[in-house]
Structure 1
């Protein structure tokens, strides 16, 4: 693999990751509620979720999802239901500056688990890797080293992206003290998560 191919993959991945989606919304909402302590567990959870999706894709699950409408639909409903569940909880937080309507801070394990599930339980992640990675594969070179490099690159970028979003939101947290504004942020974020869940229900396997 030449440097230009790797750079093109890294650039394309960075652009795709920085676009806000369900994972970014969850990371930001937790960071606004829990502060900087959420950055590391959320970033690790996102990276592990992407690792699970990439591993499953390389193992053939992504191809199976493309071929099996029933399996794709089942995973799609599970992922969508979880996004809607998180969105409703955030929406109900009201004017509290929390990622969840709770008085006690969320544990690192809980934050990591939420980030992992939202990232991994997305059928688009599986089909995305199946459709995205082959475009950069050099079929004349050994496959395993290329896949290892691409996966490591994507996971580092995914971790850095989530970590950066979390730190930025945590920094902004200190400037957000108006309960009315917090309520708007929570309800907007919750609505977007619910919307993302509903949008996931419209996903179709790529032909």
Structure 2
């Protein structure tokens, strides 16, 4: 695995997006455990995109404007739903006990859906992996899966770091009602902004 691949992948993973925002939100609202659970969910959400790129489904998605826009708008709708639920649920950003198993499952399902309903990772894998793995060469599938596994590992590590960092300042932040209200609106506004960005993004 080349240094260029690792550096490029790390830059892509660290760059804030929907997964980062959700992981930070989970860490702030429910603590370190929920932040790590959200990181796991976001990582699992990249698996279908990797498999799609390996099997060639991504090429079909890229070639079909209708299919691409359909998936995009479903993703936009889900981001807007997250924004609405964040604003509505005032109990989310309160100093409560850590999430119960049921809540943890809800966190991981939301995290998976956030990445699953975003078609950009699939196209990213299609454009990114062939630069480091020759798709026509011997062992191409194995090479792409290995590169994808590294991408997932870095995603898990970086996102877990985001979630735990958010949890560290959780009590200080949530003890201030004005900061909590501002934080809730900011998270909701970020989901809206990401949804609009996704909707307006070109192919």
Q: TM-score under structure 1 normalisation?
A: 0.88
Cα deviation for residue 203 of structure 1 reads 2.4
CA offset at residue 163 of structure 1? Answer: 0.6
* Pick aligned residue for 2:53 from 48, 54, 57: 57
Q: Does 1:149 align with 2:146?
A: yes
Runs of at least 5 residues in structure 1 that lack an aligned partner in the other structure: 99-103
Shift, 1:204, TM fit: 2.6
Paired residues for 1:107-146 under 5 Å:
107-138=103-134, 140-146=137-143
Residue 158 of structure 2: which of 153, 161, 165 is its match?
A: 161
- In the alignment, structure 2 segments of 5+ residues that lack a partner are none
Work out the number of aligned pairs and report it: 196
Match of 1:101 in 2: none
Q: Could you tell me whether the CA contact under 8 Å between 1:78 and 1:121 is conserved in 2?
A: yes
Measured against aligned partners, the alpha-carbon deviations of 1:121-157 in whole angstroms (never above 9, x if no partner) come to: 1011111111111111145542123112201100100
1:178 corresponds to: 176
Match in the other structure for 1:203: 201
Match of 2:186 in 1: 188
Conserved 8 A contact 1:96-1:182: no
Distance 1:115 1:180 in 2: 27
Structure 1: distance between partners of 2:59 and 2:137: 22
Q: Distance in 2 between matches of 1:84 and 1:61?
A: 27
Q: Deviations over 1:33-77 (max 9, x none)?
A: 101120332121111101111111222221111110110011001
Match of 2:69 among 43, 54, 73: 73
Moved over 4 A (4+): none
Task: Please tell me whether the aligned partners of residues 31 and 39 of structure 1 are also in contact (alpha carbons under 8 angstroms).
Answer: yes
TM-score, reference length from structure 2 = 0.90
Work out the CA distance in 1 between the residues paired with 2:177 and 2:64.
47
